[in-house]
């Protein structure tokens, strides 16, 4: 991966605070014992690295999350703990690098500067917001985020959590459990169980920090958005939270059948197979020389033998085996609809089941979600060696030009818009039709980026995936962010937009409705309307469109009709665009919609070249992350 992209990602995600001195007023006595924290940025207290569960290691691997034990003495909550085990950073070239630990179930807390006396004497407890980080459920950590500005500006408490990921977080194999296993153990949803355990910890302890356990908002972005939606759809989580914000999440779920079956001959499956993962473990351990031989050996092994070998493996072996076992078109790691942790009808069932208890929810995506990923596709963007100052700074490659701007804008519009349709508009309509009136939606449109070396980043990346995180947390004072991202004259308006977004988020946390923000002075954010009125709030700076309600619903029919008459694409490109949108893990349009599009003219075309491109880009992207 080019170092320019690394700089961009860093500028979005380096949001870490830097307090070091113990603060006596941060002394707290919780159920596990006494702990003390630090003075944080923006006039806050922070406690870092608090264990909310027992380490899921050894015989607790692939088991229901266990409540953390008490500690002796005073716990100094002053340092972030290890991230959960994951492949080496995508910024590293060393393919053997791994980071994190299986011992990773910790959380971090930020509050306004409240003394124990303040907490005891106050009649009002503060709303609590639990943040779930993103990273496709295979990478990422809680300590990447500093919510101190949100906490300080709006008098809320923010808790950031870590959870098991990859083969430790969502994984199934028939041999891992027996008749003595609990239903939670059998679910495969260990990462989801971690997030629910963190909610239980908050419910039991947050009042010691001035928080209100009866007013908890779960929010997260990307995979964290998916996990927030999973909590919304979890019968086990009901009563532990009271509002949800889903930022750029996805609503589809993994396939239990695919997870517990061998891959078909064509290698296409919606979910990583536990059986295929075990095949690769057999090869890694020198017990088989090929997948065919490994399959024969696995079929002869007893469930006990398979389970023992699974538990003997170091985490890097499991992670490598799962990566190697990845099928074509599997998508990101997602929850399993096991019927206990997640409804058997998946997350969607929580939207259209009028009998399922629902809480207020905000869902949204960014206008240019797909641009961040497509900007690295050499079929769309020409890259070349960096020169001058950029080369001196260690940047190896830079984007030189977008090969066909109209085509680039078109495919990104449909990729991003169908994401919005699946993750926001359709769920919002289903919720509203089920009678859930407290359903709110947004689209984040801010894209006023710099031009670097004649490349306009507003066109290349735009309102990219994860960009809104900066605005939610108000993390604008970081040097890279302030000097690398913002185009000329855009910083003041962006800062104002951030303040508006924080105000909406905080008002939602307080009341269950974003309304007109905390000071009642913003554009009214109305709930999703089934009629012709406003559907969602567009969030943009006053330099551009500003903040307003839009009545344009991104339904499948609306987007297909727009695509059919899009002058930027010829007929072959339209069909290829639709084919590419249907590639993947069940997130695409239906076969019926594809076959009837443009009177069926797409059904008999050759898509081998576009399929080769998709799979080669996917393979390159995965190789850059191993």
The total of structural domains in the chain comes to: 3
Nearest to 236 by CA among 182, 279, 281, 273: 182
Residues with pLDDT less than 50, the chain:
1-11, 13-19, 90-93, 95, 624-626
pLDDT of residue 476: 81
pLDDT of residue 93: 43
Q: Is 618 exposed, middle or buried (0-12, 13-18, 19+ CB in 10 A)?
A: middle
Whether residue 286 sits in one domain with residue 196: no
Last residue of a domain, one of 554, 579, 600: 554
DSSP letter at 599?
Answer: G
Rounded distance, CA 429 to CA 316, Å? 43
What's the predicted TM-score (pTM) here?
Answer: 0.94
Q: Kindly list the distances between the CA atom of residue 258 and the CA atoms of 85, 136, 174, 310, in Å, as whole numbers in the listed order.
A: 24, 19, 12, 19
Last residue of a domain, one of 324, 341, 365: 324
Nearest to 189 by CA among 308, 68, 63: 63
Nearest to 135 by CA among 220, 222, 55: 222
Dihedral angle sign, alpha carbons of residues 477, 486, 140, 510: positive
Whether residue 523 sits in one domain with residue 607: no
Whether residue 463 sits in one domain with residue 350: yes
Whether residue 137 sits in one domain with residue 56: yes
The residues with which 536 forms a beta bridge, in sequence order, are 550
pLDDT of residue 77: 97
Structure tokens at 333: 């790691």
Q: Kindly list the distances between the CA atom of residue 136 and the CA atoms of 139, 266, 334, 359, in Å, as whole numbers in the listed order.
A: 7, 24, 8, 25
Structure tokens at 138: 């295979």
What is the H or E stretch that residue 429 is in?
A: helix 426-433
Q: Are 362 and 220 a contacting pair, CB within 8 Å?
A: no
Whether residue 147 sits in one domain with residue 198: yes
Last residue of a domain, one of 504, 533, 554: 554
Rounded distance, CA 57 to CA 54, Å? 9
Nearest to 309 by CA among 298, 325, 323: 298
Spell 326-338 as b/e; 16+ CB within 10 A means b: bbbbbbbbbbbbb
Rounded distance, CA 171 to CA 191, Å? 10
Whether residue 514 sits in one domain with residue 472: yes
The distance of Cα 43 from the centroid of its chain, to the nearest Å, equals 28
Q: Is 37 exposed, middle or buried (0-12, 13-18, 19+ CB in 10 A)?
A: buried
- Dihedrals phi, psi of 130, to nearest 5 degrees: -100, 115
Whether residue 457 sits in one domain with residue 540: yes
CATH code (residue 17): 3.40.50.1820
pLDDT of residue 17: 40
Q: Are 564 and 598 a contacting pair, CB within 8 Å?
A: yes
Whether residue 582 sits in one domain with residue 511: no
Whether residue 292 sits in one domain with residue 204: no
Rounded distance, CA 98 to CA 287, Å? 24
Whether residue 479 sits in one domain with residue 363: yes
Domain that holds residue 112: 1-273+326-554
Rounded distance, CA 410 to CA 460, Å? 13
Rounded distance, CA 131 to CA 128, Å? 10
Rounded distance, CA 485 to CA 458, Å? 10
pLDDT of residue 88: 75
Rounded distance, CA 537 to CA 528, Å? 10
Whether residue 278 sits in one domain with residue 268: no
SS (H, E, C) 350-383: HHHCCCCCCCCEEEEEECCCCHHHHCCCCCCEEE
Residues 6+ apart with CB under 8 A from 422: 250, 251, 252, 587
Whether residue 447 sits in one domain with residue 362: yes
Q: Kindly list the distances between the CA atom of residue 358 and the CA atoms of 51, 234, 241, in Å, as whole numbers in the listed order.
A: 29, 10, 10
What is the H or E stretch that residue 538 is in?
A: strand 536-539
Q: Is 462 exposed, middle or buried (0-12, 13-18, 19+ CB in 10 A)?
A: buried
Q: pLDDT digits over 402-457, tens only? A: 999 999 999 999 999 999 999 999 999 999 999 999 999 999 999 999 998 889 99
């Amino acid at each position: 991966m080019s170092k320019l992209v690394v700089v961009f990602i860093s500028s979005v995600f380096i949001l870490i605070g830097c307090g070091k001195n113990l603060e006596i007023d941060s002394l707290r006595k919780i159920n596990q014992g006494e702990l003390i924290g630090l003075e944080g940025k923006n006039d806050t207290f922070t406690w870092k690295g608090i264990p909310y569960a027992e380490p899921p290691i050894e015989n607790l691997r692939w088991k229901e999350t266990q409540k953390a034990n008490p500690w002796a003495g005073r716990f100094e909550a002053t340092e972030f703990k290890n991230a959960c085990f994951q492949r080496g950073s995508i910024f590293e070239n060393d393919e053997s690098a791994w980071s994190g630990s299986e011992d990773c179930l910790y959380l971090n807390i930020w509050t306004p500067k409240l003394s124990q006396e303040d907490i005891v004497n106050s009649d009002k407890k503060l709303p609590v917001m639990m943040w779930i980080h993103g990273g496709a459920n295979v990478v990422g950590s809680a300590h990447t985020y500093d919510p101190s500005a949100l906490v300080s500006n709006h008098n809320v408490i923010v808790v950031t959590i870590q959870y098991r990921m990859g083969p430790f977080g969502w994984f199934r194999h028939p041999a891992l459990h027996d008749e003595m296993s609990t239903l939670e153990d059998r679910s495969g949803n260990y990462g989801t169980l971690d997030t629910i355990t963190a909610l239980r910890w908050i419910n039991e302890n947050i009042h010691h920090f001035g928080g209100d356990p009866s007013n908890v908002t779960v929010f997260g972005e990307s995979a964290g958005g998916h996990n927030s939606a999973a909590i919304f759809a979890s019968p086990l989580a009901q009563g532990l939270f009271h509002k949800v914000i889903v930022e750029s999440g996805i609503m589809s779920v993994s396939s239990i059948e695919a997870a517990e079956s061998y891959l078909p001959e064509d290698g296409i499956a919606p979910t990583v197979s536990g059986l295929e993962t075990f095949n690769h473990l057999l090869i890694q351990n020198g017990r088989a020389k090929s997948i065919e031989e490994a399959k024969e050996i696995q079929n002869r092994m007893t469930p006990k033998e398979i389970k023992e070998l699974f538990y003997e493996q170091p985490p890097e072996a499991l992670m490598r085996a799962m990566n190697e076992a990845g099928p074509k078109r599997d998508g990101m790691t997602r929850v399993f609809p096991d019927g206990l942790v997640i409804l058997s009808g998946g997350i969607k069932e929580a939207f259209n089941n009028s009998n399922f208890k629902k809480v207020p929810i905000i869902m949204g995506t960014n206008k240019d979600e797909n641009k961040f990923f497509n900007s690295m596709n050499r079929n769309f963007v020409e890259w070349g060696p960096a020169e001058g100052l950029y080369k001196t700074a260690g940047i190896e490659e830079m984007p030189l030009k977008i090969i066909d701007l109209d085509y680039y804008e078109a495919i990104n519009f449909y990729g991003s818009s169908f994401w919005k349709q699946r993750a926001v508009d359709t769920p919002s309509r289903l919720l509203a039709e089920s009678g859930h009136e407290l359903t709110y939606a947004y689209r984040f449109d801010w894209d006023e980026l710099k031009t670097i070396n004649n490349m306009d980043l507003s066109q290349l990346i735009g309102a990219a995936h994860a960009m809104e995180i900066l605005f939610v947390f108000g993390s604008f004072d970081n040097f890279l962010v302030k000097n690398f991202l913002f185009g000329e004259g855009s910083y003041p308006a962006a800062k104002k937009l951030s303040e508006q977004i924080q105000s909406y988020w905080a008002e939602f946390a307080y009341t269950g409705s974003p309304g007109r923000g905390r000071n009642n002075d913003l554009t009214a954010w109305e709930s999703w309307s089934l009629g012709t009125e406003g559907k969602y709030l567009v969030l943009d700076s006053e330099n551009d469109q500003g903040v307003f309600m839009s009545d344009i619903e991104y339904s499948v029919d609306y987007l297909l009709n727009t695509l059919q008459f899009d002058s930027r694409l010829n007929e072959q490109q339209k069909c290829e665009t639709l084919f590419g949108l249907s590639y993947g893990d069940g997130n695409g349009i239906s076969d019926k919609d594809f076959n009837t599009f443009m009177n069926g003219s797409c059904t008999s075309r050759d898509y081998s070249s576009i399929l080769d491109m998709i799979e080669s880009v996917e393979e390159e992207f995965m190789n850059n992350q191993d």
